Structure 1
Amino acid sequence: MPRTPTAYLSHAITGRARLKIPARRGDQAYFAVLAERLQRDCPGVRSVRVNPLTASVLIEHAEPLPPLGIFAAGTGLFLLEATPPPLPPVGPALRSAASALDRSVRRTAGGTWDLWTLLALVLLSLALVQVRRGTVLPPAVSLTWQALTALGLSHLMNSKNGANGGL
């Protein structure tokens, strides 16, 4: 028997509440049963809309908010938690991926280029495409400015950290 999924109150305003049930994302049968049971058995619920792709349940209700926790405990359809678990920080993962990409670019280019230099080249190429199309301001100028910023960062990081790069 599958484990009872955890639901989180995503938001609640006057007359509306949204639940998220991430463990059942994409499970159309589960959300159809849940919508039907909430509509039929939970006092104060006026309408229920579900989106299995986003694991979301939108509940339109009378005042006050229906006792969703009691309903959930009684039906076994979900366990209502006060707050969702914190999301993992994205910064370290991005830095790690950028460092790996930088090492790959350096290795492939024999140490003559780094990620920032490659980024500058891509941005300058895009700027030239914009100039050729006749859209100099603002796309070409913005892309050129961003390319020069990337080159400046490349120079700064390489001068601070030697040939090892700065990511």
Structure 2
Amino acid sequence: MIPEAHVFHEMSGRLRLKIPSQKGDAAYFSALRERLFECPRVEEVCVNPQTASALILHNCDAKTIFQYAKKNELFMRRRPARARKALFGTVADVFHSYNRSIRNLTGGEVDIPSLAFLTLVVSGIYQIARGNLVMPAWYTAFYYALGVFSRGHVEEFDEGENLLEDFDDADGDGD
């Protein structure tokens, strides 16, 4: 069975692999070093059996090295498992889908934040009209409406483009 190699880091001309199943196997890493030198355009190979790592310096693309290693049964690249989404990400995807549907139905005029904003404003007005001026009923609805409105239309703001200018102005150096 061909051992699996995990890419620890990869950059132009440099590839570090971890081969956990061969940890401590000096004979394997010695043979790996010798055989990788036979790969075209591999310039240097440093191995460490204690850490199960191999550092490969090269002037080719990493794909060439992985193909060579697989063909010669040295190791196979193990792709990392896809990260699972957190609950918030899943819920956000559902709301994005609903939001897209609402926008399509209304020709882009209304979205979920707009609906929430309008619902909260109407709720506040309704509480005032009923004579219920107790602060939390209508005031809270308006407060939440403002929060929904400001978060729902973030893409319309400068997205922090002027933030550095604000900090520069605040430090008073007069640039």
TM-score normalised by structure 2 residue count: 0.44
Structure with bigger gyration radius: 2
